[in-house]
Structure 1
Amino acid sequence: MIVLQGFPPNRTTTNPYLVMLAETLRAQPDVEVQNFTWKTALTGTFDVYHVHWPENLGSGSSPLKSLARQLLTLAFLARLKAKRIPIVRTVHNLERPSGLGRLQHRILDTFENQTAVRIRLNRHTPCPPGSAVRLIPHGHYIDWFSRFPAPQTVPGRIAFTGLVRRYKGVESLITAFRALRGPGLSLHVAGNPSSESISGEIRRLCGDDQRIHLSLAFQSEEDFAREIREAQLVVLPYKLMHNSGGTLAALSLQRPVLIPDNEINRELAREVGPGWVHLFSGELTAEDLQRAVDAVEQNPPAQAPDLSSRGWEHTGRAHVRAYEQALHRIGASIPGVSA
Structure 2
Amino acid sequence: MAEQRRPIRVMQSFGAPRVTTNPYITMLDQALAASDEVEHLRFSWKRALLGRYDVFHWHWPEVKLHAGSPVSAFGKYVLATLLSLRHSFSRRIAVVRTVHNLELPDDNAARLWLLRRIEHQADHRIVLNETTLLPEGTARTVILHGHYRDWYRPQPRAERVPGRLGTFGGVRRYKGVSGFVDAYAEAVTRDDDLSMVIGGKASTQELADDLRARVDGLPGVTLQLAFLSDAELVELVTASELVVLAYRFMHNSGSVLAALSLDRPVLVPRNEPNEALAAEVGPEWVQMYDGEVDGRALTDALREVRAITSERPDLSRREWADAGAAHASAYRAALRGRRAGVRPRGADA
TM > 0.5 between the two?
yes
**Which amino acid counterpart does residue 90 of structure 1 have in structure 2?**
T
Which aligned pairs between 1:73-152 and structure 2 lie closer than 5 A?
A: 73-83=80-90, 84-101=92-109, 103-152=110-159
| Residue in 1 that maps onto 2:292 | 283
- In the alignment, the residues of structure 1 paired with residue 108 and residue 142 of structure 2 have an alpha-carbon distance, to the nearest angstrom, of 28
Cα offset, 1:128, TM superposition = 3.5
2:49 to 42, 53, 57: 42
| Residue in 2 that maps onto 1:161 | 168
Cα offset, 1:99, TM superposition = 2.5
Which aligned pairs between 1:250-269 and structure 2 lie closer than 5 A?
A: 250-269=259-278
Cα offset, 1:126, TM superposition = 2.7
| Residue in 2 that maps onto 1:303 | 311
Is the CA contact 2:125–2:139 (under 8 Å) kept in the aligned structure 1?
yes
| Residue in 2 that maps onto 1:336 | none
- In the alignment, the residues of structure 1 paired with residue 60 and residue 139 of structure 2 have an alpha-carbon distance, to the nearest angstrom, of 18
| Residue in 1 that maps onto 2:346 | none
Is the CA contact 1:88–1:116 (under 8 Å) kept in the aligned structure 2?
yes
Question: What is the aligned-residue RMSD (CA, Å)?
Answer: 1.5
- In the alignment, the residues of structure 2 paired with residue 206 and residue 309 of structure 1 have an alpha-carbon distance, to the nearest angstrom, of 39
Q: Where do 5+ consecutive residues of structure 1 fail to align?
A: 333-339
Is the CA contact 2:37–2:325 (under 8 Å) kept in the aligned structure 1?
no
- In the alignment, the residues of structure 1 paired with residue 284 and residue 133 of structure 2 have an alpha-carbon distance, to the nearest angstrom, of 29
Normalising by the residue count of structure 2, what TM-score does the alignment of the two structures yield?
Answer: 0.91
- In the alignment, the residues of structure 2 paired with residue 190 and residue 322 of structure 1 have an alpha-carbon distance, to the nearest angstrom, of 36
- In the alignment, the residues of structure 2 paired with residue 161 and residue 142 of structure 1 have an alpha-carbon distance, to the nearest angstrom, of 17
Is the CA contact 1:275–1:301 (under 8 Å) kept in the aligned structure 2?
no
Is the CA contact 2:165–2:195 (under 8 Å) kept in the aligned structure 1?
yes
Matched, 1:315 2:323: yes
Is the CA contact 1:271–1:306 (under 8 Å) kept in the aligned structure 2?
yes
**Which amino acid counterpart does residue 337 of structure 2 have in structure 1?**
R
Once structures 1 and 2 are overlaid, which stretch shifts more, 118-127 or 195-204?
118-127
Cα offset, 1:274, TM superposition = 3.5
Q: Deviations over 1:1-36 (max 9, x none)?
A: 221111121111111001101111111113221211
Normalising by the residue count of structure 1, what TM-score does the alignment of the two structures yield?
Answer: 0.93
Matched, 1:33 2:36: no
Q: Deviations over 1:96-127 (max 9, x none)?
A: 011332x3233223212321100111233232
**Which amino acid counterpart does residue 232 of structure 2 have in structure 1?**
D
Would the alpha carbon gap of residues 301 and 165 (structure 1) be closer, same or farther in structure 2, given more than 3 Å must change?
Answer: farther
**Which amino acid counterpart does residue 16 of structure 1 have in structure 2?**
P
- In the alignment, the residues of structure 2 paired with residue 301 and residue 141 of structure 1 have an alpha-carbon distance, to the nearest angstrom, of 22
- In the alignment, the residues of structure 1 paired with residue 122 and residue 169 of structure 2 have an alpha-carbon distance, to the nearest angstrom, of 30
- In the alignment, the residues of structure 1 paired with residue 243 and residue 49 of structure 2 have an alpha-carbon distance, to the nearest angstrom, of 43
**Which amino acid counterpart does residue 59 of structure 2 have in structure 1?**
H
Q: Where do 5+ consecutive residues of structure 2 fail to align?
A: 1-7, 341-349
Once structures 1 and 2 are overlaid, which stretch shifts more, 206-215 or 243-252?
206-215
Is the CA contact 1:51–1:90 (under 8 Å) kept in the aligned structure 2?
yes
| Residue in 2 that maps onto 1:337 | none
Report % sequence identity. Answer: 42
| Residue in 2 that maps onto 1:205 | 214
Is the CA contact 2:37–2:328 (under 8 Å) kept in the aligned structure 1?
no
Once structures 1 and 2 are overlaid, which stretch shifts more, 195-204 or 322-331?
322-331
- In the alignment, the residues of structure 1 paired with residue 270 and residue 38 of structure 2 have an alpha-carbon distance, to the nearest angstrom, of 39
- In the alignment, the residues of structure 2 paired with residue 279 and residue 223 of structure 1 have an alpha-carbon distance, to the nearest angstrom, of 26
SS of equivalent to 1:77: helix
| Residue in 2 that maps onto 1:294 | 303
